[in-house]
Amino acid sequence: MAKIGFIGLGIMGAHMARNLIKGGHTLIVNGAYPVPDDLRTQTTVAENSTAVAKAADIVISMVPDTPDVANVLFADDGVANGLTKGKLVIDMSSISPLETQAFAKKINALGCDYLDAPVSGGEVGAREATLTIMVGGPQKSFDIAKPLFDLMGKNISLIGDNGAGQTCKVANQIIVALNIEAVAEALLFAARSGADPERVRRALMGGFASSRILEVHGERMTKRTFDPGFRIELHQKDLNLALDGARKLGIALPHTASAQQLFSVCAANGGKAWDHSAMVRALEIMANFEVAQAPGKEAKAA
């Protein structure tokens, strides 16, 4: 079994690490970051990312944003300073495709391979090991990493060279955001028209409008359960990558831009840490009506 360095034990990373341990692997984690109590007793806690890389055969990072990955990899106490030729670095964060390509070149120059392998599926997917994993990098490295990915996910695809995994993830986040917006608008329309939005949601699950977003996030909207999940501020980061990329490519993504504006309304009203299904609250603010509001009652601001 491999010695795996795992850096980034947050909402999703902690579950992913637990699943690797269940698969029989030895984990080394960075004690400079928060380590959940149960993982502290099941792993080797290293002083910093350099020490993690020295002790591990494969290093996995799962942190929030592009600057965080740059710091994990290339700070004075970062992964790069602990690598020796032949090791493999896997970044499972969701970050800039262009920066990913630059990171890969730096790691390659040290005689090591690099995979970008962002994930989709949220906390539930991380906990239940059903994540979708989108990978960019060389086939030989993918083949080495595949047994590890199998312990964390179900739908695992090598998309292309370094950066392709991140490009696929950005595309995923566009689709997810627009589906959340569609579900939110539909349930708000139904509720304001006097129909029970939860009954509407269940009825739509049997038709062509059925989707995972309608199933999971539609229920969050009707039951008002907006604890993350996947935070709005992280989805905003992903849509910024999409919109920035679109500008560089000279293409328009008008509905991605509108979804980002709705997330911004939520953030401006104290909701940057809400689950991204809470996009519905931006529409509710504009309508002065909540999806779960009983018909006939006075309008209530979200």
Is 169 a known active-site residue? Answer: yes
Q: Do residues 285 and 301 lie in contact, with contact meaning Cβ atoms separated by under 8 Å?
A: yes
The residue annotated as part of the active site, out of 169, 248, 272, 300, is 169
Q: Do residues 280 and 221 lie in contact, with contact meaning Cβ atoms separated by under 8 Å?
A: yes
Torsion of CA 123, 124, 129, 135, to 10 degrees: -50
CA pair distance 118, 170, nearest whole angstrom: 9
Q: Do residues 108 and 114 lie in contact, with contact meaning Cβ atoms separated by under 8 Å?
A: yes
Measured in Å, how far apart are the chain's first and last C-alpha atoms? Answer: 51
- Cα 297 to its chain centre, rounded Å, is 38
Q: Tokens standing for 285? A: 């603010």
CA pair distance 277, 144, nearest whole angstrom: 36
Active site members: 169
